[in-house]
Amino acid sequence: MKAKIVTLPGDGIGPDVVAEGVRVLRVVAEKSNHHFEFEEHLIGGCAIDATGNPLSDETLAACRASDAVLLGAVGGPKWDVGDVRPEQGLLKLRKGLGLFANLRPVKPHPALVHASPLRPEKLAGVDVMVVRELTGGLYFGKPQGRTNENGHARAVDTMEYSDTEISRIVDLACRLAMARQKRVTSVDKANVLASSKLWREVATQTAHAHPQIKLDHVLVDTCAMRLVSAPSSFDVIVTENMFGDILTDEAAVLVGSMGLLPSASLGTGTLGVYEPIHGSAPDIAGKGIANPIGTILSTAMLLRHSLNLPREADAVEQAVDRVLTDGCRTADIAQKGERVLSTREMSDQIIAQIVR
Ligand code: NAD
């Protein structure tokens, strides 16, 4: 197959890890006789420096015209002040491409249980997919802002959802669950919030179209507890934007390092944005020690969801699994005394497994 992939390396360790993701995709293409064309563009702080804009209209147009986007990370102390912020580029990208769903798989590797804050027995069998609504809810609802009344400051945010926004994300979660354990947990705060009452109602209706799916509803506070007390009880979790923002970070801690986890942001079509869940890690930028696995697993999600190449996606995931089992470690996941690999060396090991 032929595919055009836009890369947006961004800031900090973003360029280091995206370079390794591209190497992996090139190897996959060569091995399976596909033709992947890559086109690199600016996003985030480096784009502000070059153009004054964290995501230019030209870059957005290039992403729209592509089959998939591989992103690194944006941000850093240099751009923390000022009105134009690197993160605005991410929001423009998500909105511009209509990406309403963020997928974060969380599956701790048995060889890395020592890196997790949970006891090994709690981690056995954990394999969760968190599906977070990305373009609605508290982060976008109006009114939003701050006023001053009689010398007192007041601020407001609005959590708003329509039935259409809820049904399309719950439907996606159900379809994902069909290829897994066929269980969906919808997370809300329906005992208090009107938007959550609608969420629960629409989630129930939407799941009726998927008779094989077992849907349950859990309050967000209970879900936060269960993620650490019984994480293996979940298959697919689907939830609104802010709950998802918080729960995905909580779930990420289970695997032991930010550097290990991939994500995908999807809309109605096959075009998606794939990125590791970590940020630009200014503390290790330029040192060549960042863990590339989150990005490499993001390329597996890209192969599966945007390019419909599940066998190639499996091959990448199996290669990562193998090198971790064999004891390959970057600094973030190494125990005392273990040999530490650089970003490039870790990718070399993964690539060697793919070409075997
Ligand atoms: P971070 O994820 O960049 O780093 C948190 C910690 O994890 C750091 O100690 C870092 O060294 C470590 N880490 C992260 N990725 C790693 C990897 N691949 N390998 C090894 N160690 C890794 O989060 P932060 O420090 O809170 O944020 C730094 C910057 O990134 C900020 O400007 C923030 O706004 C931005 N950020 C961007 C995104 C994004 O682009 N999607 C996400 C989160 C944070």
Do 287 and 149 touch, CB atoms closer than 8 A?
no
Split at pLDDT 50, 70, 90, the class of 82 is confident
Torsion of CA 323, 325, 331, 332, to 10 degrees: 110
Per the prediction, the chain carries an average pLDDT of: 97
pTM of the predicted protein model: 0.95
Provide, rounded to the nearest whole percent, the portion of the chain with pLDDT above 90.
97
Q: Where are the domains of the chain?
A: 1-103+258-356, 117-255
Is CATH 3.30.465.10 correct for 1-103+258-356? no
Cα–Cα dist 83/52, whole Å: 11
Summarize pLDDT for 96-105 with one digit per residue, the tens: 999 999 999 9
In the residue annotation, 127 being an active-site residue is answered as no
Instruction: Give the fold, CATH level 3, of 117-255.
Output: Isopropylmalate Dehydrogenase (3.40.718)
> In sequence order, which residues have a C-beta less than 8 Å from that of residue 333 and are 6 or more positions away?
112, 115, 256, 257, 259, 260, 291
Do 344 and 20 touch, CB atoms closer than 8 A?
yes
Q: Average pLDDT, stretch 75-95?
A: 93
CA-based diameter of the chain, in Å?
A: 72
Q: Does a cis peptide bond (omega within 30 degrees of 0) precede residue 231? A: no
Q: Average pLDDT, stretch 203-213?
A: 98
Summarize pLDDT for 177-197 with one digit per residue, the tens: 999 999 999 999 999 999 999
Summarize pLDDT for 258-294 with one digit per residue, the tens: 999 999 999 999 999 999 999 999 999 999 999 999 9
Q: Average pLDDT, stretch 294-300?
A: 98
Summarize pLDDT for 7-54 with one digit per residue, the tens: 999 999 999 999 999 999 999 999 999 999 999 999 999 999 999 999
Nearest CA to ligand 1 atom 6: 281
Q: Average pLDDT, stretch 241-255?
A: 94
In the residue annotation, 189 being an active-site residue is answered as yes
Q: Which mutation among 102, 278, 346 tests ligand 1's pocket best, with the greatest number of atoms within 8 A of CB?
A: 278
- Topology match between the domains 1-103+258-356 and 117-255: yes
Cα 108 to ligand 1 centroid, rounded to whole Å: 19
